[in-house]
Structure 1
Amino acid sequence: MDVRIRPLVRDDSAAVGRIFFLAVHEGTRTAYTAAERLAWAGETIDLASWATRVAQLQGRVAELNGEPVGVMTIDARGYIDLAFVLPSCAGRGIGARLLRACAARAADLGATALSAHASLVARPFFEAQGWHVEAQEIVERRGVPLRRFRMTGPLPTDR
């Protein structure tokens, strides 16, 4: 498996939108209802919205044989906003590699810990990386309540 981790760039917006859309609609089927997935990710990929959003984020993209298959974003406080891998590539360690790369970037920016709002599907991934739940939350998207978890994790020391 030839996975490469590289910085997120503006031109990644369509790929990020696709990864997010498929990860939500296909990858969370066992945890969220169709109505919840639709409220979360919409009916289609809004390319203009993703172009605007990606332009404001920094993070890392995982490529498999030159194609984007995962994305994770990080800010200077260590907050992970997006953390998604294509369902067809899940379980291959891509998320863990993205997390290590983003944690290193956060440490370079001065962060002392990591945090995220994790879905029902992402929670076990983060827990396997040594994170813990701070609180369960209910957020509303398009009038539909969605359960998620506020989680925190350490910055890896093996950088």
Structure 2
Amino acid sequence: MSEIHIAAFQQEDIVEIIDLFYGTVQEVNRADYSEAAIAAWAPVEEKENVLKEWKDSFLKNKTFVARMQGQVVGFIDIRADGYLDRLYVHKDKQRLGIASALLMQIEEWGRREEIPFIWTFSSITAKGFFERYGFEVIEKENVERKDVLLTRFKMKKMLIEE
């Protein structure tokens, strides 16, 4: 296996990141979500808007990008309030430790910044991963996207013990 290199987000990464997101949702999340849910989650017709919106939010958030042999294979971003917004790994690079390495990077950063906890909305697909890393389910909910209900889990992990 080749080595995982993690670095801060660079604007030139954005096209590769958006392609990774769409490919992963359409392939990996298909096991847990319907075609309609996938289409609502990653609407192909909105790809250009997503690219612009995400670039702006990646610049505001703390964002890390994982590469293997020069290829973007994963990304993660977190807001200053501890909200882990996105964590995705390339559809062809699942189960290689990429998500774990990205999460560890964010947790390290969060502790340095004295963020007491990280919270996120996890997909059904990612729930087990987050639980293995100490996240607890706060609540299960359904959110509506384009007239389709998507199941997700609000999850939280303490970084600094109270």
Q: 2:84 aligns with which of 80, 84, 96?
A: 80
Q: Does 1:12 align with 2:16?
A: no
Q: Which residue number corresponds to residue 132 of structure 2?
A: 128
Q: CA deviation at 1:56?
A: 2.2
Task: Normalising by structure 1, report the TM-score.
Answer: 0.91
Which one is further off, 4-13 or 65-74?
A: 4-13
1:2 aligns to what SS in structure 2? Answer: coil
Which one is further off, 12-21 or 47-56?
A: 47-56
Q: Which residue number corresponds to residue 53 of structure 2?
A: 52
Q: CA deviation at 1:22?
A: 1.1
Q: Does 1:150 align with 2:144?
A: no
Q: Deviations over 1:87-114 (max 9, x none)?
A: 2111111000000111122223331111
Q: CA deviation at 1:48?
A: 4.3
Which one is further off, 36-45 or 12-21?
A: 36-45
Decide which structure has greater helix share: 2
Aligned residues: 157
Distance 1:51 1:43, change over 3 A: closer
Distance 1:45 1:2, change over 3 A: farther
Query: What RMSD in Å do the two structures reach over aligned CA positions?
Result: 1.7
Distance in 1, Cα, partners of 2:151 & 2:141: 6
Q: CA deviation at 1:51?
A: 2.8
1:50 partner letter: L
Q: Which residue number corresponds to residue 122 of structure 2?
A: 118
Q: Which residue number corresponds to residue 35 of structure 1?
A: 36
Distance in 2, Cα, partners of 1:106 & 1:86: 24
Q: CA deviation at 1:156?
A: 8.2
Gaps of 5+ in 2: none
